[in-house]
Each structure stands twice: as structure tokens, then as C-alpha cells.
Amino acid sequence: MDLAFSPAEEAFRAEARAWLQANVPNPPLPSGDTKDGFALHLEWERQLFDARYAVVSWPEEFGGRNASLWEWLIFEEEYWLAGAPQRVTQNGIFLLAPTIFEFGTAEQQQRILAKMASGEEPWCQGWSEPNAGSDLAGISSTATRDDTNGGWRLNGQKTWTTRGAFCTHLFGLFRTDPEAERHNGMTYLLVDLRQSGITVRGVERLDGDEGFAEVFFDDAFVPDVNVLGEVNKGWGVAMATTGSERGLTLRSPGRFLATATKLIELAKSLPDTATPELKDRVTQAWIDAHAYRWQTFATVTKLVEGGHTGPESSMVKVFWSELDVRLHEIALELLGPHAELIDGEFAHWMKGYQFALSGPIYAGTNEIQRNVIAERVLGLPRK
């Protein structure tokens, strides 16, 4: 057991910290989940990309640094500690990219990855449909063969698509075999949203931003070169990288350490409302943020030594999402009558609270995750 980072890793930390200190926008950018804010965030993503900080763990040919998982975690800690902007490219670089690295053709990798990382082509995720949320296998949007044009015709609807109103591309699952049921007969498709046959309608989220969208497909076209993996095998493609061996989908501890640090500063700045009981909860949340960090380090050690992540990732999702809610709940209690303000110096806590509340819902609700933990980690019966 060796808890020290190497001199090279510490040097990388120092370099990243210096660059972030010099470049992180101040004052902070407006929310990236609005049209104008999104555009400003894409400029920031371009700046990150040009400095090769957008996707540090990717190969150099796609704009990365070939950084190890440890270096990626170090970068993330520094990134969030520096108060740097949210990553509006995250659904592409963290969710789609690992799948493209694993299943994509060389041509797809060349054509898609660098533009995704630079923000030139931002991607949104098209999983959920009006009647398929937690039950993802219940999707009904179809892709029908179009041999004349060498591709597929899409019909149906996706919904709750994060930043769908601002993105140029969507990845998602579509039914390509009308006879097949449930997990069979789906194909993972990469869709250019800039075409007739697609209508995107922004939906206002809980926090007031237009960060959601409904996406309607009316004979929209996807060429064969934009099928990811095999036709009718999309479920396996989508699931294979949910616990990506490259760790690119890990939720980095840096985010929660940064929030816990801000929470401690908040409590210190409000000595009149920081009762012993509230201070105890601040400390508890700080312990939890560190627990998350060290649990991640154990996982990363396993991954770099050739191991894999399994259903344990469901415990990780439950833990960080509920920790994020707690961190913000405590802050709101500390703020008392100031908690409701969505202007002024404390506004980010109410904003952050509303965003944190989405955590236990998205990426598989925590109820589903607890079922997975019970059945696949503990071995309790499905029925």
C-alpha cells in the first residue's frame, strides 16, 4: 500500500493547477444549460482542448495526453478545486467516447473524437423516451432499413435529453428489429441532429434552465457508417462500457471534495448559524467525500492492475448522488433565509441543490441501483 503520488504525477498536478489558476474564467460563466451560457462554455472547452486539458486520458492523436487514470483523477481534483466551469461536453467525452474507443471503427474514431473533445460537435445522449425511463429496454423509437441510401430511417421520440437543444449530435438506442423484444433488436446509432426530419424542442428544467429537450424523429436519416457496433446488438454495446475499464465514466471525487471544501468555508463564514449539530453534519459530509475518494482509489488500483469494475458501480452511483444532495442540503440549512435567493453570492447553493436532486434520478434511478446491489452484489433473488 503506497499512498504517495509519484514525482511525475505531482509535477503534473502542479502544472495543471498553475494553468487552471491562470485560465479559469472569473467571474464564473453563466449556466451552461442555457443557450448563451452553452456558447460561452464551448469557448472554454476550446481553450481546454488547445491546452490539451480537455481529455487528458485520451491518446494524443485525438487531443489527449495519454494520461494514466491516476493523472486523470489528479486533473479532476485540481479542476474542481479551481472552481472551473461545468463540462458541457461531458456526455460525449465521458459517456460516448469510451464506447467509441471500444466498439468504433478507426474511421469513426478519426471522424468523431477530436471534434467532440474540442466542442466543435457537442453530443447529447438519447436513451430515455416518454415510456422508457428506468426501464430502458422499453424503448420504442425505430430505425428502419433504407437500402437505397445505405442507412436507416428514424422515427419516434427521445426525451429529457440533457442539453439536447444546443448539441449538434445525439447518440442513442433505436429498435432495428421489430420482431425482437426487450434487450434484443436494438442498435446503437450516432445521429446528426442538423437535418430535416428532426425537431428539437427545449424543455425547462426544475432549475429554470432550458437544459432538457425533446427530440422528435420523422424519417430522419443515419448512414451505415454511423452504426456503432453491430446492428441489433446495441444493448450490449451500450452496457459494455457502463463501467468503462478506462475509467472515463467514473464520477471523479474531485467534484465532491471541492463542494465539501466550499461547505466548510461556508460554515466558517456563518458562525451564528453554524450550530454544533450543523457543524457535525458538515464534518460527516467531509468524511463522506474523502470516503468516496479512497473508494475510487481502490477501484483505480484494481483497474490499472488489469481488473474490472462490476455491479459495485451501483453502490458508487448511490453514494455520490446522495452525498451531493446532502452537501447542498446542509448548505441551505446554514443559509437559512438566504437559501431561497437565486441571485447574489449564495445563489449557486440553491442552483446546485436543484441539480444535485437530479443525481438520484438520472443514469438509472437509485431505486434501480439498490435492486442491482441487492441482486448482483449480495445475491438476493430477483423474484
Partner 1 sequence: MRFAFTEDQIALHDAVRDLLNDHSNAAQLREAWGNETGRTASAWGALHAMGAIDAMRAEADGGLGFNEVDAILIAEASGRVALAEPIIETMMVAAPLNLVTIGLSAAVVTHESPFAPWADTAEVIIELAADGIRSRHRQDTTLTPRSSVDGARRLFAVSPNTEVAPASTEVALAFRRGALGTAAQLCGLSETMITVTVAYAKERKQFGVPIGSFQAVKHHLANARTKLEFARPLVYRAAASLRDRDAEAGVHVSMAKAAASDAAMVAAKASLQCHGAIGYTTEADLHLYMKRAWALGGSWGDAAWHRRQITNHLERAPIGER
Rounded to a whole number of angstroms, the minimum distance from the CB of residue 374 to partner 1 is 3
The residue from 315, 339, 342, 361 that contacts partner 1 (CB under 8 A) is 315
The residue from 295, 326, 338, 357 that contacts partner 1 (CB under 8 A) is 295
Q: Of 102, 236, 218, give the one whose Cα is nearest residue 182.
A: 236
Please report whether residue 256 would count as binding partner 1 according to CB under 8 A.
no
Report the half-sphere exposure of 116 (CA within 13 A, side-chain side): 28
CB 215 within 8 A of CB 159: yes
Rounded to a whole number of angstroms, the minimum distance from the CB of residue 301 to partner 1 is 5
Rounded to a whole number of angstroms, the minimum distance from the CB of residue 81 to partner 1 is 8
Stretch that binds partner 1, among 3-11, 38-46, 160-168, 222-230 (CB under 8 A): 3-11
Stretch that binds partner 1, among 24-32, 41-49, 275-283, 342-350 (CB under 8 A): 275-283
190 DSSP β-pair partners: 171
Provide CB contacts within 8 A for 4, sequence distance 6+: none
The residue from 62, 286, 346, 353 that contacts partner 1 (CB under 8 A) is 286
Q: Which amino acid makes up residue 358?
A: S
Distance CA 104, CA 227 (A): 9
Please report whether residue 283 would count as binding partner 1 according to CB under 8 A.
yes
Rounded to a whole number of angstroms, the minimum distance from the CB of residue 381 to partner 1 is 5
Whichever of 54 and 372 has its CB closer to partner 1, that residue is 372
Stretch that binds partner 1, among 105-113, 233-241, 310-318, 330-338 (CB under 8 A): 310-318
Stretch that binds partner 1, among 41-49, 127-135, 193-201, 288-296 (CB under 8 A): 288-296
- Asked if the bond preceding 27 is cis, omega within 30° of 0, the reply is yes
Please report whether residue 357 would count as binding partner 1 according to CB under 8 A.
no
Instruction: Report residue 324: phi and psi, to 5°.
Output: -60, -40
Rounded to a whole number of angstroms, the minimum distance from the CB of residue 72 to partner 1 is 12
Stretch that binds partner 1, among 158-166, 191-199, 295-303, 329-337 (CB under 8 A): 295-303
Q: State the Cα angle at 120 between 115 and 125, rounded to 5°.
A: 80
Provide CB contacts within 8 A for 270, sequence distance 6+: 334, 335
- Reduced to 3 states (helix: H, G, I; strand: E, B; else coil), residue 202 is strand
CB 201 within 8 A of CB 24: no
Grid cell of 127 as nine digits: 436513451
Whichever of 205 and 293 has its CB closer to partner 1, that residue is 293
Binding pattern for the stretch 28-67 against partner 1, x by CB under 8 A and - elsewhere: ----------------------------------------
Grid cell of 225 as nine digits: 457508417
Q: State the Cα angle at 78 between 307 and 101, rounded to 5°.
A: 40
The residue from 268, 336, 341, 347 that contacts partner 1 (CB under 8 A) is 268
Please report whether residue 306 would count as binding partner 1 according to CB under 8 A.
no
Whichever of 99 and 252 has its CB closer to partner 1, that residue is 252
Please report whether residue 371 would count as binding partner 1 according to CB under 8 A.
yes
- Reduced to 3 states (helix: H, G, I; strand: E, B; else coil), residue 229 is coil
How many Cβ atoms sit within 10 Å of the Cβ of residue 307?
12
Rounded to a whole number of angstroms, the minimum distance from the CB of residue 375 to partner 1 is 7
Please report whether residue 117 would count as binding partner 1 according to CB under 8 A.
no
Which own/partner pairs from 375-379 qualify as long-range (CB within 8 Å, at least 24 positions apart)? Answer: 376/310, 376/311, 376/314, 377/310, 377/311, 377/312, 377/314, 377/315
The residue from 318, 327, 330, 356 that contacts partner 1 (CB under 8 A) is 318
Distance CA 54, CA 49 (A): 5
Q: 62, exposed or middle or buried, with CB in 10 Å at 0-12, 13-18, 19+?
A: buried
Whichever of 39 and 304 has its CB closer to partner 1, that residue is 304
The answer to whether residue 179 is catalytic is: no
Catalytic positions? 245
Binding site for partner 1 (CB under 8 A): 1-6, 9, 70, 77, 81, 257, 261, 264-265, 268, 279-280, 282-284, 286-288, 290-292, 294-295, 297-298, 300-302, 305, 312, 315, 318-319, 367, 369-371, 373-375, 377-383
